[in-house]
Structure 1
């Protein structure tokens, strides 16, 4: 069986996140979820790497790597938001013991210690007013065969698609 091409995914990878954060290691790293920023004392409590194999609802085999970063959203000891370099150092320390694939899909697990963990995917970090802002959006369920069909349909309707008879790209 052929594995599904996960490059269609819009998820940020661990490697891309670390590359961006390396451009300003002293900048505070502030995650936003559920319409608010994480508290300044947040902790990275766990980093997990997984290799997954699955059949989707269309009986298509797929395999992928995924890294889960768990954030505990607390305010403690009058801390400020973690610098990007410290976050990167935590990931490097984990990678000394656990194989972290830089091209792996990245999922954030967030809880304030009272509400259950919720899964989020990360938008690309943006440097704004001296801080890195990373928006975390709830990770929705989806139908992968439908998603692949939508990508194919969008490619067909593109003015520059190979099958297009449009002269917009001539």
Structure 2
């Protein structure tokens, strides 16, 4: 399953349901695999509401599956897909998961900082269901809407470098004699 955009929870779960007898493996970097001893420690439902730099409100939902590698837990075989589905079923009895939500996998270990990643490709290879993970990226939603971030309340473009405004020098046009305050002169 190639993913040109974010994979939905419904699509991800359907891939699991179609392959219950396979071992579920996650690749988090080039030739780096989550150790077969991993556990699915929790599944999070995260409704997101944000306002971008162009002043537009955005809403979406994420389902985040957290993986944990126990210390020294080396084993040869990964969790079977049907075991992962049983964990999902326990979660969904208590927390209905939005099938249209974006799915992310959260993982980290002593050699790889914890981060949320997108399932990029899900493939069957022998007895394995392989999930290739790609890191999330930061983007400017305002630029994605048409190439400009819009204008901030101050009138400046929000995604362009700040331009230093020239300083205005104030000059007193009154004569030097009138502008000078002297004791008893009545100006203060």
Question: Structure 1 length as normaliser, TM-score?
Answer: 0.75
More helix by share: 1
Q: 1:143–1:82: structure 2 CA closer, same or farther, 3 Å change rule?
A: same
2:110 and 2:65 map into 1 onto residues whose CA distance is 15
Q: Which of these residues, 70, 73, 76, is aligned with residue 76 of structure 1?
A: 73
Secondary structure at the counterpart of residue 93 of structure 1: helix
Asked if structure 2 preserves the Cα contact closer than 8 Å seen for 1:72 and 1:113, the reply is no
1:124 and 1:12 map into 2 onto residues whose CA distance is 9
Query: In the alignment, does 2:121 pair up with 1:108?
Result: no
2:17 and 2:105 map into 1 onto residues whose CA distance is 19
Q: Which of these residues, 118, 123, 133, is aligned with residue 120 of structure 2?
A: 123
5+ residue gaps, structure 1? 1-8, 151-170
- Pairwise CA distance, 1:148: 3.7
- Pairwise CA distance, 1:46: 1.3
Q: Larger radius of gyration, structure 1 or 2?
A: 2
Q: Higher mean Cα deviation, 123-132 or 25-34?
A: 123-132
2:73 and 2:11 map into 1 onto residues whose CA distance is 29
Question: Structure 2 length as normaliser, TM-score?
Answer: 0.68
2:53 and 2:103 map into 1 onto residues whose CA distance is 22
Alignment match, 1:3: none
- Pairwise CA distance, 1:30: 0.6
- Pairwise CA distance, 1:146: 2.2
Alignment match, 1:22: 17
Matched length: 142
Q: Which of these residues, 130, 139, 144, is aligned with residue 142 of structure 1?
A: 139
User: RMSD over aligned Cα, in angstroms?
Assistant: 2.0
Q: 1:73–1:146: structure 2 CA closer, same or farther, 3 Å change rule?
A: farther
- Pairwise CA distance, 1:105: 0.7
Alignment match, 1:41: 37
2:93 and 2:76 map into 1 onto residues whose CA distance is 27
Structure 1 consecutive aligned stretches of length 4 or more whose deviation exceeds 3 Å: 113-116
Alignment match, 1:67: 63
2:63 and 2:19 map into 1 onto residues whose CA distance is 23
